[in-house]
Amino acid sequence: MKQSSFSISDLKKIDEVIWEIPKSYRSDMKVPARVFATENMLRDTLKDRSLWQIVNVATLPGISRYALAMPDIHEGYGFPVGGVAAMSVKDGVISPGGIGYDINCGVRLLMSELSFKEAEPLLDKLADYLYKEIPSGVGRGGRLKLNDRELDLVLEKGAERLAELGYGTKEDLERIESRGRLEGADATKVSNRAKARGRDQLGTMGAGNHFVEVGRVEKIFSPVDAEKFGLFENQVTILIHTGSRGLGHQIATDYIRLMMQAMQKYGISLPDRELACAPFSSKEGQDYFSAMRAGANFAWANRQLITWEVRESWKKAGLKGELKILYDVAHNIAKVEQYNNEEVVVHRKGATRAFPGEAVLIPGSMGTASYVLVGTEGAMRESFGSSCHGAGREMSRTEARRKIPGKPLKEKLEKEGIHIRAGSFSGLAEEAPEAYKNVDEVVEVVEKTGIAKRVARLKPIAVVKG
């Protein structure tokens, strides 16, 4: 189907920061598409295919209420990044493009007992140890090389298995979404090729936009929620952002190919083949869901081992006290949940769960800020318990490399007091602050929609990248 050309006039303004593309916009839409954005952000969104993609999501069989685009929306594979959609368990579909290639890419925030003033003399040393202890970059292997049985245990038990091996605690598990383990994961539904790609990748960061960032709590917005989470002003924190590495990518590749073949069998016709899907209740749908859960478990295990590596680096750098997990959230995942007495499969692609009282972690770019939010009842009514997941790209990686020289960027960030450890200048340029939307504006939109509220703002003081 030919790509639609949008203008602001095609969208109906529902509220100050809520816009709707009506179901009548295109004859194949089954529900409207909603976008959370300011008018200026919306105009920027018109530059890529993301609105066209969210309209296509609204055509999927069994979709409930509306397709949603968060304020960090940008073009992705099939679904836009920042897309949320809920499909009926009874007659809806599951689409790997609605979860993404990096299954359970997510973020974990660790909290120290130290203030910035106490930790500052050792931060450069800490950055060195983090870069040394946490393997990063494309294809880099980790400290564990798992045999078939050990890998299957990780796929089916997630972070729980790493705790059993001594790389975490029961308290860690209590502070992870789904306790770091999705029930129903089936290692036999993961291909040998996917397993081969993941066998030695536990405890590795990868490349792209993945990072480990040391920060400080720059501002508290909600003292009550901050105290509940264990945050205080000027506290040193560490944010981990990575996912399921090559294993998750291969699971997505395998099942997208399978579903492209299966759609004809089920009489499914779509405007974009990247939305390849199968009925959730079908063998193909259930096989993918079991494999996806295994990939999600692998990602939680990966962040758990990285947490152990961060704690080791902390001790080696001579820093005192414990590093406790505030929370760990997935932002590329599908989960069965219930809204308005309907059981649905919620696809979150570059979107974070925002359940009432739960922490919502929003990483920004390495030169700006990250946020801790708290989910609200509003999210349960308006967004299937979902929020944005980050600042959202404004430039492609190719454009960023072309426009932003890496070496001067590193020098600029270090002048601002941010210790940088990166594998290459080009990789650094891809993730420059200028390549991303303004995270403060993105978070403000989220707060105005009533789906989450600000708790704390974190300022980066050291960043380690592949």
Provide the CATH number for the domain around residue 195.
3.90.1860.10
Asked if residue 400 is part of any domain, the answer here is: no
Catalytic-role residue among 241, 347, 389, 419: 389
Task: Tell me if 421 is assigned to some domain.
Answer: no
pLDDT attached to residue 1:
46
pLDDT value, residue 6: 78
Tell whether 273 is covered by a domain: yes
Taking every pair of Cα atoms in the chain, the longest distance, rounded to a whole number of angstroms, is 64
On whether residue 192 sits in a domain, the answer given is: yes
Q: 104 lies in a domain?
A: yes
In sequence order, the 6+-apart residues with CB closer than 8 A to the CB of 450 are: 376, 378, 379, 382
* Sequence-distant (≥ 6) Cβ neighbours of residue 171 within 8 angstroms: 324, 325
241 is catalytic: no
Domain span including residue 65: 8-394+436-465
For the chain of 466 residues, list the mean pLDDT of each consecutive stretch of 10. Answer: 70 96 97 97 92 97 98 96 98 98 98 98 96 79 87 98 97 98 98 96 89 97 98 98 97 98 96 97 98 98 98 98 98 97 97 98 91 98 97 88 91 91 86 90 97 98 88
Give the residues across from 454 on adjacent strands: 373
Number of independent structural domains in the chain:
1
Q: Does residue 323 fall inside a structural domain?
A: yes
β-sheet with 342-349: strand ranges across = 12-15, 18-21, 33-36, 67-74, 81-88, 342-349, 332-339
For residue 95, the model assigns a pLDDT of 98
Q: How big is the chain by its Cα radius of gyration, in Å?
A: 21
In-domain check, residue 407: no
Say if 416 falls within a structural domain.
no
